Amino acid sequence: MKRISLLIVASILGSAITILTSRLVIDNESTKTFKIEHISDTPVVGAAYTVNTRGEIVPLQFTDVAKKVMPAVVHIKSTQMQQMQSYQYRGNDPFRDFFGDDMYEYFFGPQNRRQPNQQPQARVATGSGVIINSNGYIVTNNHVIANADDIEVGLEDNRVYKAKVVGVDPSTDLALLQIKEDDLPYVPLVNSDEVEVGEWVLAVGNPFNLNSTVTAGIVSAKGRNINILQDKSAIESFIQTDAAINPGNSGGALVNLQGGLVGINTAIASPTGAYAGYGFAVPANIVSKVVADLKEYGMVQRGFLGIVIRSVDGNLAKEEELNVTEGVYVDKIGENSAAGDAGIKEGDVIIKVNELKIKSTAELLEIIGRQHPGDKVAIEVNRKGKALSFDVVLRNKDGKEKLQDAGSVAVIDKLGVEIDEIDAKTAKRLNIKGGIIVNTIGDGIIGKQTRMKPGFIITKIDGKEVNKVKELTVYLDNKKGGVMVEGVYEDFPGVYYYAFGL
């Protein structure tokens, strides 16, 4: 009995010690507390619910805006006829394969020469477009209709129209078309400056020829430059979205939940050529500017600062000992520069334009690109830590504070060249009265139809002397059919002739 009593007492004491130890541990841990908060009223409720026409709170849906926008987004089919050249022989001679064409004709004469067989083939591209007013004006991407011989527009209700090109702007990859119809549904443009990152948007278009496709997402970023446009004056300040965009969506609408046009879908970032999470749209404010200019002038009248720039980042700020880490660094002042003549210097950092804060080159190019030659803009720069303000009157490509002659620019763009008048010293050295030098040759009539090289100096056109750019463009404006140009090269002897068709 005595032994049992001792065991009971030991058990009780052990339990007491265990309970006491546990209490001490709990009390000790209670001094190291942390707080977990439970949010009962999330600030993103508005992204999950909305109010219907009866005032009821319902889950957010995109049905109303989709019904409103889809009739105004069209399917575009552009057809380009290409001459595919094949060759046929007159006769069948096994010796030709042995000797080759040139040696065969040298020994046996040209009677069995290869004969070209021209076979036109249609190259068809498809995309989307957005009707922007009831009179049939449609905005799309320039790359959707570039070099097209025929453009066909299909509406959501299956009506089909032929479209004419009002004008194009390769700098923004936009084009304006028109079809012959009235009382059409259209999408109004909104102020894209007010669009915010995180805002809901819908992409409407015709991916993979699947007509009237709607996808949803948010604005992922603004002012994106992805270096996709090849034009030398390219303006890239894209709205980035995660709404699914695929081939065929190009030229389609990016709209907000009120059915307003936020931008024109233009490109995707993808390693495969299909949707991989990021799409890019030209902002509506750029679209508005381009459309207005194309309708009024037949071309985009764009203002220029005349400077070479790059975005400021931490490395550049350290390298150049700048006082800011955001803005646009002025690398170089060009000749006849609007910014330079106003007082802006190399090494300045542009931080504001018309009171709008500037963080990158894309933002600066967008804001300036929305202005005309002759417009005045207020620019604030940071110069070695000091803020300075300048009023800059923008100029055109030629360095003049006036609008450009649309006809002249259109002709030169069609030729695909950059030209200038030679000076008197060069003319005297070459023993000619004057001429027009072709500085560069791009993707145009000259490059496609002739073997002309950069540096060619045009002295005559169709046998008539030409010394001024204006003379050349006026002549070509009124010319139809074939053209023969005559001229010289500085480094090669003799006179050269090139022919092309307009």
Alpha carbon distance 445, 476 (integer Å):
13
Query: For 165-171, what is the mean pLDDT?
Result: 91
Cβ atoms of residues 306 and 338 within 8 Å: yes
What is the distance, to the nearest Å, from the Cα of residue 422 to the centroid of all Cα atoms in its chain? 34
Tens-place pLDDT, residues 354-408: 999 999 999 999 999 999 999 999 999 999 999 999 999 999 887 888 887 665 6
| Averaged pLDDT of the chain | 84
3-state secondary structure at position 78: strand
Residues 270, 229 contacting (CB under 8 angstroms)? no
Predicted confidence band at 276 (pLDDT cuts at 50, 70, 90)? confident
pLDDT of residue 6: 46
Q: How confident is the model at residue 45 (pLDDT cuts 50, 70, 90)?
A: very low
Measure the CA–CA gap between 177 and 154, rounded to whole angstroms.
13
Which of residues 349 and 441 earns the better pLDDT score? 349
Q: Which of 75, 171, 173, 237 is catalytic?
A: 173
List the one residue out of 303, 288, 293 whose CA is nearest residue 353.
303
Give the DSSP H/E element, type plus range, for residue 483: strand 482-488
* pLDDT surpasses 70 at 94: no
Q: Which of 34-38, 113-117, 233-237, 261-265 has the lowest mean pLDDT?
A: 113-117
> Mean pLDDT over residues 113-127, rounded?
72
Judge whether 200 and 256 are in contact, CB under 8 Å: yes
Q: Is the pLDDT of residue 290 over 80?
A: yes
Please check the confidence at residue 420 and state whether its pLDDT lies above 60: yes
DSSP 52: -
Better-scored residue on pLDDT, 337 or 115:
337
Q: Is 70 exceeded by the pLDDT of residue 291?
A: yes
Nearest to 362 by CA among 374, 344, 350: 350
The model carries a pTM of 0.72
Tell me which of 75, 128, 143, 192 is the catalytic residue.
143
The answer on pLDDT for 25 being more than 60 is no
The pLDDT confidence band at residue 92, using thresholds 50, 70 and 90, is low
Enumerate the β-bridge partners of residue 178.
137, 164
pLDDT recorded at residue 471: 87
Tell me, yes or no, if 64 is annotated catalytic. no
Residue 173 designated active-site: yes
Interval 308-339: pLDDT, tens = 999 999 999 999 999 999 999 999 999 889 99
pLDDT of residue 109: 54
Alpha-carbon distance 219 to 193, whole Å? 12
Q: Using DSSP bridges, classify how beta strands 464-465 and 261-269 pair: parallel, antiparallel or unpaired.
A: unpaired
Label each residue of 103-164 as H, E or C: HHHHHHCHHHCCEEEEEEEEEEEEEEEEECCCCCEEEEEHHHHCCCCEEEEECCCCCEEEEE
Structure token pair of residue 430: 């070459």
Instruction: Write a three-state SS string for 274-327.
Output: CCCCEEEEEEHHHHHHHHHHHHHHCCCCCCECCEEEEECCHHHHHHCCCCCCCC
**CB 265, CB 252: distance < 8 Å:** yes
| Residue 431 in this model has a pLDDT that exceeds 70 | yes
Q: Quote the CA–CA distance of 131 and 109 in Å, as a whole number.
A: 61
> Which helix (DSSP H) or strand (DSSP E) does residue 377 occupy?
strand 376-383
Higher pLDDT, 16 or 141: 141
Please give the domain boundaries of the chain with CATH numbers for all domains.
45-73+129-300 (2.40.10.120), 307-393 (2.30.42.10), 406-501 (2.30.42.10)
Task: Indicate if 182 belongs to the active site.
Answer: no
**Residue 410's pLDDT band (cuts 50, 70, 90):** low
Q: Find the mean pLDDT for residues 143-171.
A: 93
Stated as kind and residue range, the H or E segment containing 77 is: strand 73-88
CA gap 212, 130 in Å, rounded? 12
- Cα-Cα-Cα-Cα dihedral sign, residues 287, 293, 299, 302: negative
Q: How many other CB atoms sit within 10 Å of the CB of residue 288?
A: 18
What does each C-alpha distance from 191 to 262, 353, 367 come to in angstroms?
8, 17, 13
Taking only the tens place, the pLDDT of each residue in 187-240 is 999 999 999 999 999 999 999 988 899 999 999 999 999 888 877 788 999 999
What is the mean predicted confidence (pLDDT) over 76-80?
A: 93
- Of 244, 282, 287, 249, give the one whose Cα is nearest residue 75: 249
